[in-house]
């Protein structure tokens, strides 16, 4: 692990290390992050005390499979939260969870968010760097709101502190790095993606409900049917056709109704 008191972005640091020939398999963790990077070019605001961690890996899998590592991260966070939150409040990412049953306060949101009580608790963003030998280094950046969540976002966000949980970023990181090892082993260089996605689906928010997906301004509406074996979100449109979505911002609920 490379730990920093203050850094611009743990993901930027990991990407630079990959470009400089770092073999990967290493976590970059910061107490303070001053230029956090979110998905789709957004800023990730980091309050000191929150967890900012990026894992750099160079997987033996083709780039399309490597892109599914975000699901590995989501499931691993679910397993980690199950170990740090009070017993029985999380069922995400666990084998045999057989779907959320209303008792879990935590759920996974496609593509790469983790929600608690319906608000964003964790953000995950992957960045790929092509190496000289043709392989891709993947920086898996994970931000967990431990002590505070930003209040000026266009969606609700929360923190462990708001949930009444007093665990430190160090506690969560230790649980996460252990859980990552387990779920990455399950992923098995992409061969086990079916098992990972099974766990992910069982923990997913909003399956079967109305959804609207914003793809850079183009809105796809319908019913969130499932996640397919490539990790794409499948929307059933009004005319019963299926639309497979690879990227976008998901909104749930009545305002996302297929008929609105």
Ligand X SMILES: O=C(O)CCCC[C@@H]1SC[C@@H]2NC(=O)N[C@@H]21
- The closest of 63, 54, 73, 107 to 196, measured between CA atoms, is 73
70 forms part of the interface with ligand X (CB under 6 A): no
Instruction: By CB under 6 A, name the one of 70, 141, 210, 222 that touches ligand X.
Output: 141
Instruction: By CB under 6 A, name the one of 38, 48, 118, 192 that touches ligand X.
Output: 38
CA distances from 241 to 121, 216, 221, 236, 238 (A): 33, 22, 12, 6, 7
> How far apart, in whole angstroms, are the C-alpha atoms of residue 89 and residue 82?
7
* Closest CB 110 distance from ligand X, rounded Å: 12
Residue whose CB is nearest to ligand X in the complex, by number:
123
Segment contacting ligand X by CB under 6 A, of 63-71, 79-87, 141-149, 220-228? 141-149
Segment contacting ligand X by CB under 6 A, of 16-24, 38-46, 129-137, 159-167? 38-46
> How far apart, in whole angstroms, are the C-alpha atoms of residue 250 and residue 154?
12
Nearer to ligand X, 53 or 76 (CB): 53
Q: How far is CA 216 from the centre of its chain?
A: 20
CB atoms closer than 10 angstroms to residue 95: 13
143 forms part of the interface with ligand X (CB under 6 A): yes
Binding site for ligand X (CB under 6 A): 9-11, 36-39, 42, 44, 52-54, 113, 123-125, 141-143
């Amino acid at each position: 692990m490379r730990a920093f008191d203050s850094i611009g972005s743990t993901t930027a640091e990991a990407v630079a290390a990959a470009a400089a020939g770092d073999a990967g398999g290493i976590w970059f963790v910061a107490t303070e992050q001053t230029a956090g990077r979110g998905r789709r070019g957004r800023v990730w605001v980091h309050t000191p005390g929150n967890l900012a961690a990026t894992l750099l890996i160079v997987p033996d899998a083709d780039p399309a499979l490597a892109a599914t590592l975000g699901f590995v991260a989501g499931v691993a966070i679910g397993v980690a939260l199950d170990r740090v939150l009070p017993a029985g409040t999380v069922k995400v990412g666990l084998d045999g969870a057989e779907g959320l049953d209303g008792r879990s306060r935590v759920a996974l949101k496609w593509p790469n968010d983790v929600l608690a009580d319906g608000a964003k608790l964790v953000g995950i963003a992957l960045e790929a760097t092509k190496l000289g030998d043709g392989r891709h280094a993947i920086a898996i950046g994970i931000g967990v709101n431990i002590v505070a969540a930003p209040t000026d976002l266009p969606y609700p966000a929360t923190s462990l502190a708001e949930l009444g949980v007093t665990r430190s970023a160090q506690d969560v990181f230790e649980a996460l790095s252990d859980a990552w090892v387990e779920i990455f082993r399950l992923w098995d260089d992409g061969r086990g993606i079916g098992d990972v996605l099974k766990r992910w689906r069982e923990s997913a928010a909003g399956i079967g409900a109305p959804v609207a997906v914003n793809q850079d301004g183009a809105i796809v509406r319908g019913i969130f049917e499932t996640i397919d074996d490539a990790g794409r979100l499948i929307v059933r449109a009004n005319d019963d056709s299926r639309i497979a979505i690879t990227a976008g911002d998901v909104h749930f609920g009545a305002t996302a109704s297929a008929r609105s």
